[in-house]
Structure 1
């Protein structure tokens, strides 16, 4: 009887659920590490270990003892240093710790990308308890965005338009930061997209581009994603070139990546940030497969186990996700009553609709797949396909 492969999965929230489910379909034994509280994957994994995902030494000890064949996590920046550390110690497939730091720390990322001549906003770093504010900030020229260097999901992010708004924004970002480090960036106006790729031995393969809609300033919480992004082939090729160069500059060699970009009115491409992991919000776990036919989750698992199949597009569909919140309260009726065939999945959480300050405030989601992009019109509470 063929021995089952064993894979360690770092994290057990809803983000990792597609990973555990896919491993089961692939007949791979799952070993999941996370705090027990809120662990969605606890009851569906083969083995569960109630260990914090940042306790990399404890996780290494267990992984060495059980002799895992691979280690992986999707859609979680916090998990990636542990994935990288354990893989490097056990000679498994993952990006090395230096690359992982560059893709999980926004300041290190900015420094690396800028040193390679790649397009980034101006940026400054603050460490510790705040206080000092860079004198270079010129509010007559630009607004700025304040962020923790080491968080995702819009946590601690805020736009500031005046100098007297900085202190509150900096403190908010520091409160969210694990390392108590903040980055202040020039605010760039434009259209937001993301690019989803998978890498193998330093070669990067394009999967999809995603149009993103946020709440806008001051918090920029994402409320819609749509694939494919509406881009000309020529402009998309330019984007691919920049993203592939950025991934190489950051030392990304293996697995999923999610690159967030802004396209200005002058069609300049500015890199917002790059994660060496799947995009969250169902982008990597659902939308890529729904729009292209490529099983991104399976691909990431195979890479972690030392196997790679070149990605092939087998579908040419539109796919997207809408999130429920106070700003989009008109969607409630659609979430409750619409049973259109293009709706793949939807759920309303048991929580009130609130104005969003980060992604955890959202109250539900609706995923679609169709032959055209689906747009929900606020005034008429109906859906339009165009």
Structure 2
């Protein structure tokens, strides 16, 4: 069997697994300096876009296409490629369709989708620079049926990793924002705890994996990557099983496929649960998901491509570990990387941890993170203390 993988940056997370399955791997990548280029059986350096991957998929007579793209911008083109290859050539592409991708890639469309389907999400409204300036000079503070209250979250429809998002604490903050952007939508700031769930979905089957705790919402608007994150989420009054089922229903309603992340904010004082957004691409929390559940989301994409994916098998294979993740402190970076490099020979595709090293390092060298696995959350903290990454 032959599978075409698009994108080399995440290919190391599936290359060994595909080899174990006897899959002939073909890789396309637009960056000749990207890592992991030598891991595929055959490599093609191609221009950006999906035209060349389509041509290669057909000329190489592959059995499936698995995009490994972790950024939003190319996803619309990927979805269009999916429609072409599946409709015209009956060639499966393990990615979301155009309808769900257009919704998830546009934050405003996502909000409207939630609203239209009675899925609770923070209040929001659209505004442009002209309306804001009028509102700013209006003593009644009204330009529509809404008030621009503070704090409020100002967002662009497109953006990833916090780009185009600002927490406005006062009018001056909003004024600075509209000096840069012509349009925005305003979302009510919700105090609570951020939780995300990765959902695997293919051909009408969906299964949510372990909910991940991503920290509390704060007025300093600390990026999630700079917070300590854990799995499973241990939040008072939050039922993780109900949360998983809700995430599955949302994904099914949207019709998304592959791996999808659904993000929530939960207020433990009011028990109010809001859905914030969705991402139809590999998640930044996938190592926490893998560590806590034993299920590797990206390897599941390979199984979908081979036609051997079954949510019942995933459910039966799910483990119950605790995972702890944080940025790797600079003062421990050199020593921890040396230890990790020496232990890489013990890593297999399905066993990233060993008894002597219950942790892994991952991410770009300038923003490395460490994920720890243990039987329970207390043990993860003890390991973190022994590693001298927390006090």
Same fold (TM over 0.5): yes
- In the alignment, what sits opposite 1:158? 166
2:25 corresponds to 1:22: no
TM-score, L = length of structure 2: 0.77
- Counterpart of 2:370 (choices 359, 366, 370) is 366
Number of aligned pairs? 349
Indicate whether 1:307 and 2:308 are aligned. Answer: yes
Change (3 A) 1:83 1:27: farther
2:376 aligns to what SS in structure 1?
Answer: coil
Q: Match of 2:330, SS?
A: helix
SS in 1 for 2:209: strand
2:54 is matched with 60
Q: Displacement of 1:266 after TM fit?
A: 0.9
> How far 1:89 moved relative to its partner?
0.9
8 Å CA contact 2:211–2:244 kept in 1: the answer is: no
| Partner residue, 2:107 | 106
Going from structure 1 to structure 2, the CA distance change for 1:65 and 1:184 (only over 3 Å counts) comes to farther
Task: Verify: 1:263 aligned to 2:266, yes or no.
Answer: yes
Q: Given the superposition, is the C-alpha separation of residues 348 and 113 from structure 1 closer, same or farther in structure 2, using an over 3 Å criterion?
A: closer
What are the residue-to-residue correspondences of 1:40-55 with 2, within 5 Å? 40-53=35-48, 55=49
Aligned to 2:186: 184
CA distance in 2, matches of 1:245, 1:239: 10
Question: In structure 1, what is the Cα distance between the partners aligned to 2:382 and 2:38?
Answer: 36
What residue number does 2:4 align with?
Answer: 8
Cα deviation digits, residues 333-379 of structure 1 (max 9, x gap): 4445567945422369665xxxxxxxxxxx32112111222348999
1:43 is paired with a residue of what secondary structure? helix
Provide the residue aligned with 1:207 in structure 2: 209
Report the TM-score, using the length of structure 1 for normalisation: 0.78
Shifted more, 149-158 versus 96-105: the winner is: 149-158
| 2:220 is the counterpart of 1:226 | no
2-side partners of 1:190 and 1:147: how far apart?
A: 19
RMSD value, Cα: 3.4
Provide the C-alpha distance between the structure 2 equivalents of 1:181 and 1:43, rounded to a whole number of angstroms.
44
Contact 1:109 1:250 in 2 (8 A): no
Equivalent position of 1:195 in the other structure: 197
Which segment drifts farther, 371-380 or 62-71?
Answer: 371-380
Query: Whose radius of gyration is greater, 1 or 2?
Result: 2
C-alpha contact 2:384 2:390 (8 A) present in aligned 1: no
Residue 177 of structure 1 corresponds to none
Shift of 1:112: 1.2
8 Å Cα contact 2:4-2:26 kept in structure 1: yes
Aligned partner of residue 38 in structure 2, secondary structure: coil
CA distance in structure 1 between the partners assigned to 2:102 and 2:363 by the alignment: 35
Aligned residue runs from structure 1 range 284-299, under 5 A: 284=286, 286-299=287-300
Matching residue of 1:344: 359
CA contact (8 A) 1:195 1:260 kept: yes
* Distance change (3 Å), C-alpha of 1:59 and 1:165: same
Counterpart for residue 138 of structure 1:
147
Question: Measured at CA, do residues 203 and 170 of structure 1 come closer, stay the same or move farther in structure 2, by a change above 3 Å?
Answer: farther
| 1:169 and 2:184 aligned | no
Query: 2:269 aligned with 1:275, yes or no?
Result: no
CA distance change for structure 1 residues 171 and 319 in 2, over 3 Å: closer, same or farther?
farther
In 1, Cα distance between equivalents of 2:65 and 2:225:
29
Call closer, same or farther: CA 1:377–1:32 in 2, change over 3 Å: closer
Higher share of residues assigned strand: 1
Q: Tell me, which stretches of 5 or more residues in structure 1 are unaligned?
A: 175-179, 325-330, 352-362
Q: Distance in 1 between matches of 2:55 and 2:67?
A: 18
Moved more, 333-342 or 59-68: 333-342
Preserved CA contact (<8 Å) 1:257 1:277: yes
Contact 1:73 1:79 in 2 (8 A): no
Whether the 8 Å contact between 1:7 and 1:31 is mirrored in structure 2 is: yes
- Give 5+ residue unaligned stretches, structure 2: 87-91, 136-142, 340-354
Give the CA deviation at 1:230: 0.8
